[in-house]
Amino acid sequence: MSHIFLASPHMSDEGYEKEYIKEAFDTNWIAPLGKNVNEFENEIKDKLGTKAAVALSCGTAAIHMAIKSLGVKKDDIIFCQSLTFSASANPITYEKAIPVFIDSDESWNMSPVALRKAFEKYKDNLPKAVIVVHLYGLASNIKEIKEICNEYNVSLIEDAAESLATTIDGKYTGTFGDYGIISFNGNKIITSSGGGMFLANTDDADERAKKVLFWATQAREQARHYEHKEIGYNYRMSNIVAGIGRGQLKVLDQRVIKKRYIYEYYQKELGNLEGLTMMPRDKYKSYSNCWLSTIQLDENCKVRPLDIIIALEENDIESRPIWKPMHLQPVFKDYDYIDNDATSERLFNNGVCLPSDTKMSDEDLNRICKIIKGLWE
Ligand SMILES: *Cc1c(COP(=O)(O)O)cnc(C)c1O
């Protein structure tokens, strides 16, 4: 029996990615830039309906650029969702700013109640930004979070790394915040082998994108020689990588259909097991990309997350715990955290990410479900 991945790269059956790469080879636009990079940006802009997009080496770089775009300086405060992957928070420290972690609610994402508490607590030292995430492709309560940010006149950065193609009330995630970021890392819903994009939705989006492009290409001033007035970064996406991304974008909607099918398969097969709940899909009039199908077990459920993970592992099947909240991470232990009934701890302690690879067959899914159901017998 074959190994089953949690989520692995899934290139198009049609070979679109290879065509774009071939064109890059044929024209020798291997690097630095080239048609694929510009077209990939335009295609993402058109698909998502964002005002500007800059293709970068990864999503983490895009978050860094969003933080820089807000003029964040040493000791500025940034509110960041605690239940997330560390890449949401790490760039805060690149600019020597101070993260304050915010708990989640039943949406699995930032709790507006905890966010309000945080604003109350920090009303004399307001944050420069709020970073909200759409975890596992699940919509956050973005409208309420945006309203709170507007009340305090604080900018919103939307980490849509895991939620590419998820819509809320018909609008794509990544386009609600002042700035959004997406990722094309290897295990995301589509991959360019590695890469990300900075999205700008502000009135001055084009100007912001231009500045990000400038920083991301070593902050080289307009001059014949190499002139630098600011610190730069080497963050730009290559033309080869962008070619893979363009090919993948053509199958994004197909991937969402398969991801949702996987979720529904688990729901049908496992949804009735005592003490097991599927993640809360499609809240807030959303349509989730279901990047990873995740489950929660009741505190007193006889089966524990580790039982599932180990049982699958013994059958050569990959699964994973839920992201460990940032406020519980040793590296962030000295920073403040605003709690909402310890929701993120609970989700972490009781959750499992089930295999969500879009290449899985019904046979694979059946094999997984049988192993899990066996733990209840
Ligand atoms: C993957 C991910 C990122 C970072 O994207 P990279 O392209 O891997 O740098 C950021 N935030 C979240 C929530 C992610 O899952």
For ligand 1, atom 1: residue with the closest CA: 161
If asked whether residues 109 and 222 sit together in one domain, one would say: yes
Measure the CA–CA gap between 175 and 344, rounded to whole angstroms: 25
| 98 C-alpha to ligand 1 centroid (Å) | 20
State in Å: Cα 215 to ligand 1 middle.
20
- Per-residue pLDDT tens over the stretch 82-112: 999 999 999 999 999 999 999 999 999 999 9
Q: Indicate the range of 26-35, 66-75, 131-140 predicted with least confidence.
A: 26-35
Residue range 205-220, pLDDT digits in tens? 999 999 999 999 999 9
Q: Is residue 1 part of a domain?
A: no
Ligand 1 proximity of 197 Cβ (cutoff 6 Å): no
> CA 288 to CA 229: how far, in whole Å?
43
| DSSP class per residue in 95-145 | TT-EEEEE-B-TTSSB-HHHHHHHHHHTTTS--SEEEEE-GGGPPP-HHHH
Domain assignment present for 11: no
CB atoms within 10 A of CB 271: 12
State whether 120 and 269 are in the same domain: no
- Locate the ligand 1 atom nearest the alpha carbon of residue 58 and give its number: 7
Domain of residue 120: give its range: 16-249
Beta-carbon count within 10 A of 120 CB:
9
For residues 27 and 202, the model is more confident at 202
Same domain, 95 and 174: yes
Q: How far is the CA of 253 from the centre of ligand 1 (A)?
A: 20
Q: CA quadruple 297, 355, 366, 164: dihedral positive or negative?
A: positive
59 CB within 6 A, ligand 1? yes
- Which amino acid belongs to residue 277? T
The Å distance, Cα 19 to ligand 1 centre, comes to 27
CA of 192 to the centre of ligand 1 (A): 13
Kind of pairing between the strands at 52-56 and 196-200 = antiparallel
Residue 26 lies in a domain: yes
Residue 1 confidence (pLDDT) above 80: no
Count of alpha carbons within 13 Å of 263, Cβ hemisphere only?
24
CATH number, domain with residue 214: 3.40.640.10
In angstroms, the CA 243 to CA 35 distance is: 9
pLDDT confidence of residue 242: 97
Regarding the beta carbon of 196 and ligand 1, being less than 6 Å apart is answered yes
> Does 173 share its domain with 257?
no
Q: pLDDT tens, 312-337? A: 999 999 999 999 999 999 999 999 99
Q: What is the spatial distance between Cα 340 and Cα 358, in angstroms, rounded to a whole number?
A: 34
Q: Are 203 and 334 in a shared domain?
A: no
What's the pLDDT tens digit per position in 44-76? 999 999 999 999 999 999 999 999 999 999 999
Residue 178 CB less than 6 A away from ligand 1: no
Q: Would you say residue 9 lies in a domain?
A: no
* Residue range 183-201: mean pLDDT, rounded: 97
Q: What is the pTM of this model?
A: 0.97
321 cis-preceded (ω within 30 degrees of 0): no
Query: Cβ(161) to ligand 1 under 6 A?
Result: yes
- CA distance to 104, 139, 141, per residue, from 284 (Å): 15, 7, 7
Say if residue 221 is in the same domain as residue 345. no
Residue 128 within any structural domain of the chain: yes
Residue 149 sits in the same domain as residue 284: no
Residue 146 designated active-site: no
Q: How many domains does the chain divide into? A: 2
- The pLDDT value recorded for residue 28 is 87
pLDDT score of 33 = 77
Atom of ligand 1 nearest to the CA of 60: 9
Name the catalytic one among 68, 146, 188, 258: 188
Same domain, 293 and 360: yes
Whether 30 shows a pLDDT value over 90: the answer reads no
